[in-house]
Amino acid sequence: MQLTENTMAVLKNFASIQPNVVLNEGNVVKTIAEAKNVMAVATLDQSFDKSMGIYNLEEFLSVLSLVDSPDLAFKDDFVTVNSSTGRSQVKYFYSDPSILTSPAKDIPMPEAEVTFTLDEATLSKIRRAAGALGHEKMTITATDGGVMLTVVDNTDSTSNAFEIAVPGECASTDFTFVMNIANLKLIGGDYEVEVSSRLISKFNNTTTDVVYYIALEKSSTYGA
C-alpha cells in the first residue's frame, strides 16, 4: 500500500495537533489535542485494512521519507516500509492504542449563531498579523453585512489590532467570540465556519474532506 498525497497531507497536519494517532480500519482518521480544545476528523481517499497505533507520528512520517516511493505492508505488530527498488526496508512497530490519545466520541455541533467564510489568503493574513503584532487571540464580531475578524490583545483596550471583514451571517449582533490563534492548526484550503455560543466552532474545509472542532475562549460573550 502506498499512501496518497491526500493521506500524507492529512497525517502531517494531524501531527501538529497531537503527536500520536490511532489509525482505525477504514478511511476515517480522527485526532484530538492533549488539551481537548481541538479535534479533527478526516475522510481519506484510501482505506486502511487494519487498525494500528502510532506513538510518534512525526517520526513515522520521517521514516517514510527514508525510502524511495515507500510501499507499506501492514503486519499484526508492525508495518514494513519497502523502497520501490527493493534495496531498503524499515520495520516500524505499532503502539498500544490504549496508551495513545484519541477522540472517545464524536462532537455533536450545536446550532450556530454565526457562520462565515474563511479563505486561505485571509487565514494567512491572520497568522501573519498575529506574528507581527505579538497577539495570541482573534475576536469574531458582527459588522455591516458580515463578520469582522480582529487580531488583538482583548485584555488591553489600547492594543494595536488587525481587522479583516469576511462574508457571513449572524443571528445577533451582540456577541464577541474569542479564539486562540494557536488552535487554528488547519490544513490548507478555504473553510466554511460555524460558531456556537456554547463555546465551540466548526471549520469545514471546502476542498479536502476534513473538519475541525475548535473550542472558544471562556472570555467569549453572547447576548446581554
Task: Say yes or no: do domains 5-99 and 114-222 share a fold.
Answer: yes
Tell whether pTM > 0.85.
yes
The C-alpha cell that represents 40 in the structure block: 479533527
Q: Which band of pLDDT confidence, cut at 50, 70 and 90, is reported for residue 85?
A: confident
Positive or negative, the CA dihedral 94, 31, 1, 46 is: positive
Task: Find the mean pLDDT for residues 104-132.
Answer: 95
Q: What is the pLDDT of residue 224?
A: 61
Q: Which band of pLDDT confidence, cut at 50, 70 and 90, is reported for residue 138?
A: very high
Positive or negative, the CA dihedral 67, 71, 75, 79 is: positive
User: 85-94, 106-115, 187-196: lowest mean pLDDT where?
Assistant: 85-94
Task: Find the mean pLDDT for residues 166-172.
Answer: 94
Between 86 and 64, the higher pLDDT residue:
64
Q: Domain 114-222 is of which CATH architecture?
A: Box (3.70)
CATH entry, 5-99, from 3.70.10.10, 1.20.58.100, 3.60.10.10, 3.40.50.1100: 3.70.10.10
Percent of the chain with pLDDT over 70: 100
Q: Which band of pLDDT confidence, cut at 50, 70 and 90, is reported for residue 86?
A: confident
Ranges of H-type helices in 65-180: 120-133
Between 224 and 184, the higher pLDDT residue:
184
Task: Find the mean pLDDT for residues 33-42.
Answer: 96
Tell me how far apart the alpha carbons of residues 16 and 177 are, in angstroms, rounded to a whole number. Answer: 24
Most confident of 71-75, 95-99, 113-117: 113-117
Most confident of 33-47, 56-70, 153-167: 33-47
Task: Find the mean pLDDT for residues 155-182.
Answer: 93
Domain residue limits, the chain: 5-99, 114-222
Q: For all residues of the chain together, what is the average pLDDT?
A: 93
Q: Is 40 a residue whose pLDDT tops 80?
A: yes
Task: Find the mean pLDDT for residues 59-78.
Answer: 89
Percent of the chain with pLDDT over 90: 78
Cβ-Cβ contacts under 8 Å for 79 (sequence gap 6 or more): 52, 72, 73, 91, 92, 94
Q: What is the pLDDT of residue 217?
A: 96
CB count, 10 Å around CB of 68? 12
